[in-house]
Amino acid sequence: MKGKYLILVILITTSFHLAEAQKIVTLKECYDNAMGTNALAGEKSSNEQVSKLKDQNIATAWLPSLDANGSFVYNSSVIDMKSALGALPIPGIADAIKPLPHEQYKVTLDINQTIYDGGAIKGARELEKAEHGLNDKQTEVDLYKLRAQINSCYFNILLLERQKELLNDYHDLLSKRISSMESAFRNGVINRPDIDVLMAEKLKLEQQLGENGLRKASLIKILSQLTGKDLDKSSELVLPFNKSEMNSDISRPELQLFDLRKEQLSSSLKIVESKRMPRAYGFASLGYGNPPGNNFFKNEFAPYYMVGAGLKWNIFDWNKAKNEKQIVAIQKDMIDKRKTDLTDNLTRLLESKNAEIESLEMMMTTDTSHISIRKRITVSADSKYLNGTITATDYLNELNAEKQAVLNYEIHKISHAMANIEYLNISGKEIE
């Protein structure tokens, strides 16, 4: 029992280390990482903060405003009460009245409170909410464009990996064939030029393998930068398999962006309508001055206050609100036309991509048959070469034809997977 337990621990530990050494990477993970780590991803948080602050500023319009004011006024002419009252048949009354001062001093604290604004504040808050949604969706649209770059890197890496496997297989095959030919040459069965032909092809394969490694390293670096994921040559990229239903329904974020722009225009209409509504407000003024308030007969500094309410209604605005509504209607119509145009373009792209998918499926079927035939031809060529009926060059030509047939199948297979993913991206659907 102890021995079985120890073996189980060793197997689990070995599997864990193998998984750590070889990182499994999916296309979906690349998308998610790019959406979360790209510099644009931080804009959503910033948009949220900006929108919250703007909404707080708009909401303060319901709070009373406080303004401190101070003034000094000198009047060159004031009412002469002495002259006005001197004609009265009351002895001494004119001398008893002090002349009104030419100077006026006052310091006030003015308070204004909105009572009814015709829906202007509510409309402004709804407009800000619409703008916030619009900004978020624009960020999503910009991030969505990253998928095309990720697809290009991801599938090219897959293609290079499969190419490397095939090149290594044929390199091993040539190495074994060269070893057997070296033995045959030493026994005087074949000539040196036959070996040189295969040696030249082997060097060509090694050159292709070197180029393959450099291109793959470059693409991995780019993919790491796009996704913010630490990738290296040990990372294993999984060929995505699309299980989603291929239909022509389109839900791209750009189309949703058009809808949000129309919502923004609808919100702006509420502000236009509020301009034609009456507005009621209350006010109060607490002051200290000489003379205090409107008491001009009191020539000394004293406190005073004043309260009241007001109503303002723009009865005629020279059709300004009507024109603004027409502008919004025209802009909405322009948005509808742009949305229709984009939908038509995306539909055409889907039709083209669907045709590409069907073409690749047909080629993959043909490739399978072609590979079977080429393998049989290569086996026959190998036998003929061993029997001395064809040259090494003839054998190598058949081997290269088989290699190209297999490579074509792998290219079509990976291109088919990429076309399926691109179809989903064009339609705006998420991959699994």
Backbone angles phi, psi at 114, to 5 degrees: -75, 130
Give helix 192-227 / helix 146-186 axis angle, nearest 10°. 160
Which residue, among 110, 126, 360, has the nearest Cα to 242 in the 3D structure?
Answer: 360
DSSP 294: T
Q: Which has the minimum average pLDDT: 149-158, 181-190, 309-318?
A: 181-190
Dist CA 113 CA 284 (whole Å): 9
Domain with CATH 1.20.1600.10 in the chain: 24-63+117-278+324-427
Look at residue 62 and give its three-state secondary structure.
Answer: helix
CA angle at residue 148 from 147 to 153, to 5 degrees?
95
Q: What is the largest CA-CA distance in the chain?
A: 159
Cα-Cα end-to-end distance for the chain: 43
- If pLDDT is split at 50, 70 and 90, which confidence band does 56 have? very high
Alpha-carbon dihedral 183, 188, 191, 196, rounded to 10 degrees? 20
Q: DSSP letters along 182-195, please?
A: HHHHHTTSS-HHHH
Would you call 307 exposed, middle or buried from its count of C-beta atoms within 10 A (0-12, 13-18, 19+)? exposed
Residue 160 makes CB contacts below 8 A (sequence gap 6+) with 212, 215, 216, 219
Given a cut of 50, is residue 15 above it in pLDDT? Answer: no
Supply the pLDDT for residue 334: 97
pTM, two decimals, is 0.81
Q: Residues 160-178: pLDDT tens digits?
A: 999 999 999 999 999 998 8
Q: Residues 336-371: pLDDT tens digits?
A: 999 999 999 999 999 999 999 999 999 999 999 999
- Tokens 């033995």 sit on residue: 183
Q: Residues 57-75: pLDDT tens digits?
A: 999 999 999 999 999 998 8
- For the stretch 354-362, contacts whose Cβ atoms lie closer than 8 Å and that sit 24 or more positions apart, written own/partner, are 354/246, 354/423, 356/419, 357/246, 357/416, 357/419, 357/420, 357/423, 360/412, 360/415, 360/416, 360/419, 361/416
Distances, alpha carbon 186 to alpha carbons 181, 383, 392, in Å: 9, 20, 17
Q: Residues 78-129: pLDDT tens digits?
A: 777 666 655 555 555 556 667 778 888 999 999 999 999 999 999 999 999 9
Given a cut of 80, is residue 282 above it in pLDDT? Answer: yes
Q: DSSP letters along 30-53, please?
A: HHHHHHHHSGGGHHHHHHHHHHHH
Q: Residues 309-331: pLDDT tens digits?
A: 999 998 888 899 999 999 999 99
Backbone angles phi, psi at 364, to 5 degrees: -65, -40
Question: H or E element: which one contains 217?
Answer: helix 192-227
283 C-beta neighbours (distance < 10 Å), count: 15
Q: Which has the minimum average pLDDT: 34-38, 186-190, 418-422?
A: 186-190
Supply the pLDDT for residue 92: 57
Supply the pLDDT for residue 95: 61
Superfamily of the domain at 24-63+117-278+324-427: Outer membrane efflux proteins (OEP) (1.20.1600.10)
Which residue, among 412, 427, 407, has the nearest Cα to 357 in the 3D structure?
Answer: 412
- Stated length of the chain: 432
Given a cut of 90, is residue 388 above it in pLDDT? Answer: no
| Amino acid occupying residue 208 | Q
Residue 349 makes CB contacts below 8 A (sequence gap 6+) with 426
Supply the pLDDT for residue 378: 93
Question: H or E element: which one contains 223?
Answer: helix 192-227
Dist CA 165 CA 172 (whole Å): 11
